[in-house]
Amino acid sequence: MEQTLSSIQSSLVEEISSSKNEPQWLKEYRKNSLSIYNELPAEVSPLYGKYTDAKRMDPEMVSLSINSNSKLPDFLSKRVEEVKKENGLIQVGTNIISTNLSDELKSKGVVISSIDDALQQHQELIEKTIKSSNSNEDKYTALNNAAFNSGLFVYIPKNQIIDEPIHLFSCLSDDGLSTISRNIIIVEDNAKANLVQELYSPQNGKQQAYLELLNTSIGANSSLDVTSLQMMDQSSINFSTRSSHLAQDSKINWYLGLFGAMLSRYRIDYHLNGTGAVATDSEVVFGNNEQSFDLNTIVNHNEQSTEGKVVEKSILKNKSKSLFKGMIKINENAAHSNSFLSGRSILLDKDAKSDAIPGLEILTNDVKATHSASVAQMDEEQLFYLGTRCLSKPEAERIIVEGFLEPMSRSMSYQVRAWIAYLIESKWEGKELSINNDEQLKALVEVEETRYNENAEIEQHYKYR
């Protein structure tokens, strides 16, 4: 059965659930979520309603089905061969076509699987996580809870330190069908992990969507680093709703790079539920043509001495648009908390547009909280100065953009900085967006490894004497 988003009915939801032999509680949960989806507006808050571009997703064009084609687009064959050698999972459309996990990690109890397999083997964990998601919060949260037709599960058990990255690779299918993916990441107490998420799509004449609902749970004294890079074709739609729950003394570092898709809409919630929990969120947006980016990041301080830092930076060319909606919420029990929120945009063309709506909601005393936003065009004096140094205008703009991103990049790993630099360069030059580990990318990593090393000059001096 195939239905468009505009005509989605309970029959499709029931068929998805029956085909996967899901338990009764999940069938009921799907039905309830579908009724909520049909009632909620695209934007719950009236403050954001006049700014959002969510209506650019045409429900008549977004098609859903139980299964999609599992054939991988040719332009990703090289990257998939690289990813297959690493620990991780490859998703094409609604299909999980490959999982790879070393024997060492298997023996430690690490799990990487499809959401369907996880429902059979870890039902208690999955049920608890899915039921914790409140469909009333957001229209597209309700849609995902009702009609997810794919998904992935990552589980890091207690006391396990996983240094090598786990790759989560997702690409839309080439048959025009959309994917609704229910993703769950659980890191138990005293553990550490590093995840890399890559999102792609083939060129397609009609709107094709990757709709994601991602729940992350981090146990006490644990640490999770996540890098999400969205490199989808500009005919595609990408909606993502993410919720992270942090226990005592846990940390999450999330790096988000949005480069592709016609419309990207992200809602990101951090719930700092334990004393000493820390969330660091770094977001980079690079838009051109008529791309639109809609980001809503919320940091909920629920216990004392928690820390949050959100930094969003947008680079916008042509007629592209960005909307940054940020909120710090410090609740009654969260004294001694510290939170920072910043949204900044640089406009490279007169038709580019950016709106920023940061906010604070503080319900207790003895806290530190600050927020800021700025939108500006290129400084003509800076362009003129660089022009006097024999740089063309495009070269000067690129140097200014590099300086604009520099403070944020210092908090990233060498690899992530190299990926971001590589994607910005590719987009600037109109190349296909991907992060194959070719010689150019390896050279960028080498540059980043020495970029902030004050002893690098001395080391190189002795190396080449």
Tell me the residue ranges of DSSP E strands in 30-147. 63-65, 88-92, 95-100, 111-114
What does each C-alpha distance from 291 to 57, 259, 260, 265, 352 come to in angstroms?
Answer: 12, 9, 8, 11, 10
pLDDT of amino acid 448: 57
Sheet holding 278-287, edge to edge: 95-100, 88-92, 166-171, 192-200, 223-230, 251-258, 278-287, 307-316, 338-347, 368-377
Q: Taking a C-beta distance cutoff of 8 angstroms, is the pair 200, 231 a contact? A: yes
Q: Taking a C-beta distance cutoff of 8 angstroms, is the pair 420, 284 a contact? A: yes
pLDDT of amino acid 392: 85
Burial class for 127, CB neighbours closer than 10 Å (0-12, 13-18, 19+):
middle
What 3-state class would DSSP assign to 450?
A: helix
pLDDT of amino acid 322: 93
What number of CA atoms fall less than 13 Å from residue 125's CA on the CB side?
Answer: 23
pLDDT of amino acid 111: 94
Q: Taking a C-beta distance cutoff of 8 angstroms, is the pair 285, 322 a contact? A: yes
Q: Provide the 10 A C-beta neighbour count for residue 46.
A: 8
pLDDT of amino acid 457: 47
Low-confidence stretches of the chain (pLDDT beneath 70): 1, 44, 46-49, 409-412, 436-465
pLDDT of amino acid 462: 45
pLDDT of amino acid 283: 92
pTM: 0.90
pLDDT tens figures, 127-183: 999 988 888 888 889 999 998 989 999 999 999 999 889 999 999 998 888 999 999
What does each C-alpha distance from 260 to 265, 288, 431, 436, 454 come to in angstroms?
Answer: 12, 9, 12, 16, 35
Q: Provide the 10 A C-beta neighbour count for residue 290.
A: 14
The Cα–Cα gap between 37 and 387 comes to 53
The Cα–Cα gap between 68 and 150 comes to 10
pLDDT of amino acid 421: 81
pLDDT of amino acid 53: 77
Burial class for 180, CB neighbours closer than 10 Å (0-12, 13-18, 19+):
buried
Query: What value, to the nearest 5°, has the Cα angle with vertex 434 and ends 428 and 438?
Result: 100
pLDDT tens figures, 310-351: 999 999 999 999 999 889 999 999 999 999 999 999 998 899
What 3-state class would DSSP assign to 325?
A: strand
